[in-house]
Amino acid sequence: MTLLRTLCALLTCLTCLPVFAETIRIASFNTELQRDGPGLLLRDIRRGGDAQIKAVVGVIVGNAPDILALQGFDWDYDGVALAAFVETLARAGVQYPFQYAPRPNSGLATGLDMDGDGRKGGAGDAQGYGRFSGQGGMAVLSRFPILSGQAQDLSDVLWRDVPGALLPTHADGTPFPSPEALAIQRLSSMGHWIVPIQLPDDSILSLLVFQAGPPVFDGPEDRNGRRNHDEVMLWQQVLNGIFGPAPTRRFVLAGGADLDPNDSDGRREAIRALLEDRRFQDHRPASDGATQAGDHGHQGDNKLDTVDWPKVGRLRVDYVLPSADLQVQGSGVFWPAPGQDGHDMALTASRHRLVWVDLALD
């Protein structure tokens, strides 16, 4: 009887112990590993010794995200460059057995004058700016299975088919640069993906991945500014079910908006609306490096900056936004202050910084 009571007491104690949920890290990183021609990135990866590639690998290994949305990585048809990069990461200590990288819109030829400069065949005449197909593309790397067959690639959505699209026009109100161009113009500069990933608890997390084009480098028609606005706003329309079944729980937006809510030259109301959408959580990832850097006189909080562009300065343009139902354990931007470990590495890797969020799986 005494033994029975002891066992019952032990079981009671065990059931009262707290349950520690597994934590996973999701990150977004614009590596800026695009090169000036096809095959050059693969060459640089295989040769070894490239300082930028070494730094990018060091940043990723040092932060060890479980799921990583990459931007600024050249795409090729057979995925050879990405495979070589994944092998390099594995040798450095981080393995990503699952990848997703469909063809982006960058460099996808159209045969038309898409940027209104009166010429055809230039980088600005592709569906998304690019000197060759896939320049500066995107990829998802994951420790957990990617359900590629269930992924939704919205990259072929036509700009004109987006409700409320801010389509550019000439001063006389006619379509810019031409009706023919707008008839085939896709919205995504790079891509918009919904990528389902099977987590260790067998639940599915949907990763919303994108890289919007810059809202500048155009003329009075504000083609790039309008397109950037609509690329950012597309996610709200996706979650509203405009483009088919949408995730309702356990989703994370990870990517680049090229837009700061306070200091960008673009249409800042787009990213503000996304950050204020109650379906997302904005835990405002911060860094010591941005906090201690010299003030640029911007309205936004310096510590939240994720990029440092020459002349333009530091801005917050890279985001990881979990859905409201997820439990956030921590967040940050990998931007060590001068004198801290990794400072020089972060600056060598890219003008952008890796942004991460830790989530508890309950």
Residue 184 lies in a domain: yes
For the chain, 362 residues long, give each residue's pLDDT as a single digit of tens.
444 444 444 444 444 433 445 899 999 999 999 999 999 999 999 999 999 999 999 999 999 999 999 999 999 999 999 999 999 999 999 999 999 999 999 999 999 999 999 999 999 999 999 999 999 999 999 999 999 999 999 999 999 999 999 999 999 999 999 999 999 999 999 999 999 999 999 999 999 999 999 999 999 999 999 999 999 999 999 999 999 999 999 999 999 999 999 998 999 999 999 999 999 999 999 999 999 887 888 888 999 999 999 988 999 999 999 999 999 999 999 999 999 999 999 999 999 999 999 999 87
Residue 4 lies in a domain: no
Residue 219 lies in a domain: yes
Residue 277 lies in a domain: yes
Residue 224 lies in a domain: yes
Q: Is the pTM of this model over 0.85?
A: yes
Concatenate the DSSP letters of all residues of 176-198 into one string: SS-HHHHHH-BS-SS-EEEEEEE
The pLDDT value recorded for residue 21 is 57
Where are the strands (E) in the chain, listed by range? Answer: 22-30, 67-73, 98-100, 137-142, 152-153, 192-198, 204-211, 251-256, 307-309, 313-315, 318-322, 327-333, 355-361
The pLDDT value recorded for residue 5 is 47
The pLDDT value recorded for residue 362 is 77
The set of residues, in sequence order, having a beta carbon less than 8 Å from that of 216 and lying 6+ positions away, is: 224, 225, 265, 266
> In angstroms, rounded to a whole number, what is the distance separating the alpha carbons of residues 35 and 214?
18
CATH number at residue 186: 3.60.10.10
Concatenate the DSSP letters of all residues of 188-256 into one string: -SS-EEEEEEE-TTS-EEEEEEEEPPPS-S--TT-HHHHHHHHHHHHHHHHHTTTTS----SSEEEEEE
C-alpha of 248 from chain center: 20
Residue 9 lies in a domain: no
The pLDDT value recorded for residue 293 is 85
Tokens 């343009």 — which residue? Answer: 317
Residue 16 lies in a domain: no
Residue 15 lies in a domain: no
Structural domain including 131 reads 21-361
**Structural domain tally of the chain?**
1
